[in-house]
Structures are given as C-alpha cells and as structure tokens.
Amino acid sequence: MPVQRIHLPVVDRAPPPPVTAVGAGPLIDRFLRTVRYLRISVTDRCNYRCTYCMPDEIEFRPRAELLTFEELARIAAVFAQGGVERIRLTGGEPTVRADLVDLVAMLARTPGIRELAMTTNGHILADLAAPLRAAGLTELNVSIDTVDADRFREVTRRGDLARVIAGIDAARAAGLGVKLNAVALRGVNDDEIAALCAFAWDRGLVMRFIEHMPMSSGALYAPERELGAAAIREAVTARFGALVPSTAGAAPRGPARYWHLAADPRREVGIISAMTEHFCDACNRVRLSATGDLHACLGHDDAISLRDVLRAGGSDDHIRGAIAASLGAKRAGHEFLSSGAGGPTKHMVAIGG
C-alpha cells in the first residue's frame, strides 16, 4: 500500500464561535441530536504504524500540549453534568500514555458515567487488562484486522498478532466486555471476513468491520480498496448462512449496525458503514483530541480548544459555553466520498476514530 508523507496539521479552528459562560443543561445540537457519548484521545502517539491510519512521517505534539489527567477529569465531569453517560478512551494508542490506569480510575469516579470504554491495538493489553478492569474500565474494543501473523505485521508495520491475541484473552479473563474491530479493505483482508468472524465467535465475542474512511485529505485512501457493508454481509452469508438484523425494534447501539446468524443469535457481526450506509442523523457523540481540541464531527476539521479555556482560568460555565458553541456548529454529517475526497485533513491516528 503506498504511504504518503504528511505532517500532522495544526487544527483548523477558523473561525471559532465566541465562547461565553452558560449554565448546565442537556447537550443538544442544532439538528436536535442529543450528545451522550464522549470519545477522548489520550495521546497522538502509537506503537503501531497501520498503513491505512498513520502517515509515514508524522510530527507528534509536544507533551506539554497534552491535557493533564486533572484537566481531562474536569472536562469529563462537565460533560457528565450535561448528560454524557459513556466515555471511550482512544489514541493514537491509549495504552502508551504513561499511568493510563490512574486516568481510568479518575474518570471512573465521575458521577453520571455508566460506561468507561477504550479502543486499543492490544499490543500491551496482556499486562494491562486486569489493572484497567480493577480501575473501573468496563468495555474494550480491540483492533485485529487479520488473523494471519505475517499479514498482521505487514498491515501494522510493527505489530505482533500473538501479543494481541494474548491481550484479548487477558481482557476476557479480567471480565471486560470485549468487541473486536477490523478495518475492511479489499485486497488486504477481504478474504478473511469469515475467518475473523470465526475467530471472534469461537471466543464468544462480536466481530465488527469498519469501512475505511478518507481521513488525512484522502491520502491513505484508495477507492479500489473500498469494501462496503453489503459486500461484508455477503461474505458472512456465503460462509455461514443468512443474517438477520440484531437491532430490529431496538435502540441503535452506536454507529455500528448489528446482524446475527439466523441459525445462531449469539454469532453477531457489526458494521460501521460511514461510506455506504450513513448514520449521521443518529450521531450522539463528540471527540476530544489529546491536546484538548473538541471536534463535533469526525469528518470535518472544525474544533474548539477546551484547553485554551481551561488554561485561561475558565470556570466550568466557560467550559460548558465552549461545548455549547461547538455543538451549535456541529455539522449535519460528514462529506466522505468513495473517491477519497470530502474528508478532513486531520489524521485518524490523531483523533482516534
């Protein structure tokens, strides 16, 4: 896969809406979508270099620019007061942030947060799973794009499949709710859709496939590699028989849509189909970068710096004001195109999915 040389951009903040202090209340955007889910990137660094995610040459942000644990806990508390119930930690690779377990313990004490989740590549999970669970983590998504060890190293450029599998098993043993994620790419892992499902189902887990999105100005995206939700479902059906929607009549469980085998409801597959079957009208989330930029939409570069508000001595009402300004400017949806155009300049490795 060709790899582009790009530098992490300074976030496009043009022009941020004015930030004024506002009181507590539910977080509702101008399209009447209620935000209940906050994704926090705790670092822009990663111990892997996945070809579809990370440009070849990147400049990491200086550590002093990262939000401290105290700043993160304060922001999380303000979001929780506004009705956010779920927080997910991501990266880069969240497990490379020093003392992550301490952060999890701090966030787990936030009143109102009923789910504290993390997305990880699993490389150092075997050692961390039990301490993370003890600190209050509840759910874990582990990325595993292939179950072929050589291919795994090729895709991740420095990954180790055996370590990730050991991490998945440690997370299950620790009592964490585990799901597996794979970015679906034609010519990379399209021949492993059934094998990945079998790997997950043998462990009693849900397998989820993510359509590749054109982040990084589309530089890491190739239209011919698009593997859409319909093709993924076909691959599962061809091997295991008919699928039926799991979510029929139920509230959506996030951007993934779930199906299970007609023959066995415990064998479930989820698909996050940002490209071919959009879900923006049900969006309930916002994203905080490691440096404190609040992104109301994954697909656009607009962001407001909560770190600036905090470090200027802002009160909780000022933080609420900045969040309200961000939500007031939240877009109706992304503009990803299958050609690779329409996406943001920001990199997935910096915002965390």
| Shortest distance, position 93 Cβ to ligand SF4, whole Å | 5
Query: Of ligand SAM, ligand SF4, none, which one does residue 310 interact with (CB within 5 to 8 Å by kind)?
Result: none
Q: Pick from 138, 131, 147: which is nearest to 203 by CA?
A: 147
Maximum Cα–Cα distance across the chain: 59
Q: Give Cα 121 distance to the centre of its chain.
A: 11
Binding-site size, ligand SF4 (CB under 6 A): 12
The dihedral over CA atoms of 214, 34, 29, 103, expressed in degrees to the nearest 10, equals -70
41 touches 11 (CB < 8 A): no
Residue 61 within binding range of ligand SF4, rule CB under 6 A: no
State whether the Cα torsion 100-101-106-110 is positive or negative: positive
Burial of 150 (0-12, 13-18, 19+ CB in 10 A): exposed
Which of these ranges, 47-55, 217-225, 256-264, 281-289, lies near ligand SF4 under the rule CB under 6 A?
47-55
Positions touching ligand SAM (CB under 6 A) are 46, 52-53, 90-91, 93, 119-121, 143, 181, 183, 210, 212-213, 215, 348-349, 352-353
Among 50, 161, 243, 329, binds ligand SF4 (CB under 6 A): 50
| Shortest distance, position 113 Cβ to ligand SF4, whole Å | 24
Ramachandran area for residue 80 (φ above 0: left; ψ -120 to 50: alpha; else beta) = alpha
| Shortest distance, position 107 Cβ to ligand SF4, whole Å | 20
Query: Of ligand SF4, ligand SAM, none, which one does residue 269 interact with (CB within 5 to 8 Å by kind)?
Result: none
| Shortest distance, position 129 Cβ to ligand SAM, whole Å | 14
Whole-angstrom distance, CA of residue 216 vs CA of residue 252? 29
Q: Closer CB to ligand SF4, residue 49 or residue 331?
A: 49
100 touches 128 (CB < 8 A): yes
Among 37, 48, 152, 259, binds ligand SF4 (CB under 6 A): 48
Q: Which two tokens stand for residue 344?
A: 């943001």
Which parts of 77-116 interact with ligand SF4 (CB under 6 A)?
A: 91-93
Q: Closer CB to ligand SAM, residue 286 or residue 349?
A: 349
Whole-angstrom distance, CA of residue 67 vs CA of residue 75? 10
Q: Closer CB to ligand SF4, residue 22 or residue 124?
A: 124
| Shortest distance, position 262 Cβ to ligand SF4, whole Å | 32
Q: Closer CB to ligand SF4, residue 321 or residue 353?
A: 353
Whole-angstrom distance, CA of residue 170 vs CA of residue 157? 24
Residue 186 within binding range of ligand SF4, rule CB under 6 A: no
Residue 292 within binding range of ligand SF4, rule CB under 6 A: no
Residue 53 within binding range of ligand SF4, rule CB under 6 A: yes
The dihedral over CA atoms of 212, 259, 174, 128, expressed in degrees to the nearest 10, equals 0
Chain residues in the site for ligand SF4 (CB under 6 A): 46, 48-50, 53-54, 91-93, 121, 143, 349
